[in-house]
Copies of this chain bind each other. A is one copy, B any other.
Amino acid sequence: MNDRVILAHGGGGELTKRLIAEHIMPRLGNEVLNPLTDGALLDAPTNRLCFTTDAYVVQPLEFPGGNIGHLAVAGTVNDLAVMGATPKWLSLALVLEEGLEFAVLDRILDAIAATARDAGVVIATGDTKVIEARGPAGMTLTTAGVGVLRPGTNLDACRIKPGDFIIVNGAIAEHGLAVMSAREGLAFQTQLQSDVAPLNGLIAAMLDTGADIKFFRDATRGGLAGLVADLAEETGLTVELRENDIPLTPAARHIAELLGLDPLTVANEGKCVAVVAARDAEKILAACRNHPLGRAAAVIGQITPGRPLAELITRAGGRRIIQRPYGEELPRIC
């Protein structure tokens, strides 16, 4: 059983040291993390910072297009990026279940290292605990992130007004559908992959245009539906989406139908929504399409005067209210 995690790996003794020395540091080591002190020392270029955290509980741990490690880095990086911050440092807390294979752990640590490299962030500090297995051996990861606010950024939902355009950087619903396909044994039927990706580079490219961007948010749990319902509530305005213009691949539409899910409510992990002044929409679209993660970017709707609700103009030309999902059809999706 030398190829699996045991409870004693979490005890803070000799075995914990070996777990860290043999599995974690070879993959995640860097100048900031290497001292392995109680906290990491950061030298921020400014004192205007952004701070965020997310716990990741996805099941299965590995799914088409990624694993929980990609998610734990990209999700937290994206939360900083949509706030107008340049992500700089992440913390990483591992809660491993006894019996987890080291081969799986190492693949996930490799994904964390690779995604951090892609996003240009440093894993600065961490913690490891081991708990008893209570089902298929799994893990939960929690990352917190610290970023530096970009000077001159003026993201403020209060500035949104009727006529502003709503832009998404590509096809929706792929993360949630890929995870569900894996869970339901449908993965072999489809090429569908999670869209998990760090969006900080794309968002920086959009901000670098100097366009008047008023709002960013990543469409994770609750999907695009949850995002626009929140947006309507926060602005007190109507958010109008056009179903015809929302990018959705035929594969995703097919799987959503098979699973009985509304793609609007399905989680994404590499999609963000921007609200921009109408005159700047073309500029933003051009910046997106120049970036690998924004090739399929589209204007999908606009802000209109009226009651604070989100509406969908359907393919058939009808109108329906977009509601925030009540609970969640898809537990442990991220």
Mark A residues whose CB is within 8 Å of B: 6-17, 37-57, 78-80, 82-83, 85, 89, 91-95, 124-132, 134-135, 140, 142, 144-147, 149, 217-218, 220-222, 226, 267, 324-332
Contacts and interface: CB of A to CB of B under 8 A. Distances in A.
B218 A38 contact: yes
Given A44-B44, A46-B47, A51-B146, A222 B135 contact: no
Contact of A39 (B79, B125, B126): B79
Contact of A7 (B13, B217, B327): B327
Nearest to A330: B11
Contact of A57 (B37, B41, B91, B131): B131
A41 B8 contact: no
A39 B52 contact: yes
Given A130-B331, A222-B13, A51 B57 contact: no
Contact of A140 (B37, B89, B95): B95
A321 to B, nearest CB: 14
- Among A14, A39, A92, A327, chain B packs the most CB atoms within 10 A around the CB of A39
Contact of A221 (B6, B12, B220): B12
Contact of A41 (B9, B149, B221): B149
Nearest to A148: B47
A80 to B, nearest CB: 5
Contacts of A328: 7-8, 10-13, 16
A47 B41 CA distance: 10
A221 to B, nearest CB: 3
Given A39-B50, A134-B135, A95 B331 contact: no
A152 to B, nearest CB: 15
Contacts of A8: 326-328
A327 B45 CA distance: 41
